Amino acid sequence: MSKRERERCRHGPVGGWRVIVACLTAAAGVASPVRTAEPAAAAIVFAEADAEAAAAVERIPPPVPEGWDDEYAATGPSCVGGTDWPHDGSDGFGGRFRVDYDNGFAILPRDPDTTPFSLRIRNQNMFRYVGFARAEPSWTDSAGTTLPIVNSNYFGIPRGRLIFDGDALLPRLSYLLNIDYNSVTSQPIGFRAFWLSYRFGDAVELFVGQSKVPGSREWIESAFAPLQSADRTMATTFFRPSLSQGVWMTGEPSDGLFYHAMVSNGFNTLNLQPEQLNNRFAWSGSSWWEPWGEFGRGYSDLQHHDEAAIRLGGSYTYALGGGSQTASDAVENSPLRLSDGTVITTPGALAPGVTLTSYDVALGAIDAAWKYRGLSVSTEIYFQEFLGLRGTGPLPIASTSAFGGFLKGGVFVVPRETELFARTSYVTGAYGSGYELGGGFSHFLLPGRDNLFFTLDTAWLQNSPAGQNRTGFVAGQTGLLVRTQIVATF
């Protein structure tokens, strides 16, 4: 460090300790009680300390001219060692970054082209009460096993997320790390999603990592969005894929026309070890059209569209050679089931003494939604088929299918603040049928925004074929399900 730099930092190799010693000596003299037996000695100590302190203060150099800042900004090292960022003195990040709030706490570059780094930290929380009163004591699955239906009464955190995202290394290269925490599974902390993506333009953004297999519109929608329910519908929970690692693309090739296409390890293979995976990928794609302008997030017309908005779409997924599927405690996992709720790999589910070992899955869905001045209506129809069924012994069928969907709608009785909603969903197939009929209200504490809102939802479930620990649905349920929750995202 040069002499001029030491002056800038207000100390030299020797002068600094002299100042400190002088100040400490003076302080010690003031703080210590003077003994009456040595008044002369005490006076001498005070005099010497005062003289040393005054001399030390005189040795401190005057302030460096303002012009030094320009020179130091280009070449000067930090007073505490190392090399500082070039700076203009405007903030603690050396002028290259600024701190802001952008739907999350953000560190953003002033010039992304020369400093292509940013970080945004977000938090999503869902605190829920779940109560279920059974109307039947038990149900029998397709393997012939009688299982109890259990009442529920608990508080929980079905979803919590800590999300880090931003740009890195290149102006168009982005990253995301989504850490999931919950109180309703045996894995309270896990990785919900992570990826790197490169934006080629509006029409193409390429991703690698882990995310949702895009087999359903309601599944693609965030669970923290206004869904006109406490969670996704029973039908979507039954049919949808889960998360997987893979490669995918999203984009808007034409105004109002969007797509999301993915090649992944499987339909439902999150957390499986490589030796548990089959050697064939799952292919999934979804596209949707918003011809009358931006539809907006969620199904509720929280935006209060002055002109009608519609969304029309379709999704298709084909997973070759299904093989093993993930256990239900994996993040957001929803096991594949027969239409009565039996997990398809349950021993004896398709034939006595036989366990399904290999299967292909095909899922098609079409969806439509409409919003206008606080009113909204939406639907999604599903068709699912299991093909190429093979097991540990002979099976009576080579394929089986299921059909279902949902219909829901809402109206804001207080624009942008309070919405009443109702819904129904249905699943049917060769092994049984089930439905839900529900409704409730949501109150948005920040008008027009879904960062903080409360939901009360009640539903009658009849032979529920869906089971997923984040939603409150348990396969085989018949009875009344009540869920209340508060959602906060920031």
Alpha-carbon span 125 to 159, nearest angstrom: 6
3-state secondary structure of 219: helix
Q: Is 273 exposed, middle or buried (0-12, 13-18, 19+ CB in 10 A)?
A: exposed
Give 306-364 pLDDT, tens digit per residue: 999 999 999 999 998 766 666 667 788 889 999 999 999 999 999 999 999 889 999 99
Half-sphere exposure of 468 (CA within 13 A, CB side): 27
Does residue 18 have a pLDDT over 60?
no
Cα–Cα dist 198/300, whole Å: 31
What do you get for the CA distance between the two ends of the chain, in Å?
Answer: 44
Per-residue pLDDT reduced to its tens digit, 190-230: 999 999 999 999 999 999 999 999 999 999 999 999 999 99
Spatial contact of 471 and 231, defined as CB atoms under 8 Å apart: yes
Q: Which two tokens stand for residue 445?
A: 């504490």
CA atoms within 13 A on the CB side of 59: 17
Residue labelled with tokens 């005099």? 47
- Which pTM does this prediction carry? 0.81
pLDDT at 86 over 70: no
pLDDT at 4 over 60: no
User: In which band, very low, low, confident or very high, does the pLDDT at 80 lie, cut at 50, 70 and 90?
Assistant: very low
| Average of per-residue pLDDT across 425-438 | 98
CA 271 to the chain's CA centroid = 18
* Residue boundaries of the structural domains of the chain: 3-75, 105-489
Q: How confident is the model at residue 17 (pLDDT cuts 50, 70, 90)?
A: very low
pLDDT tens track for 161-173: 999 999 999 999 9
Average pLDDT, the chain: 85
Evaluate if residue 53 carries a pLDDT over 50: no
- Of 1, 486, 49, 467, nearest to 224 by C-alpha is 486
Assign domain 105-489 to a CATH class. Answer: mainly beta
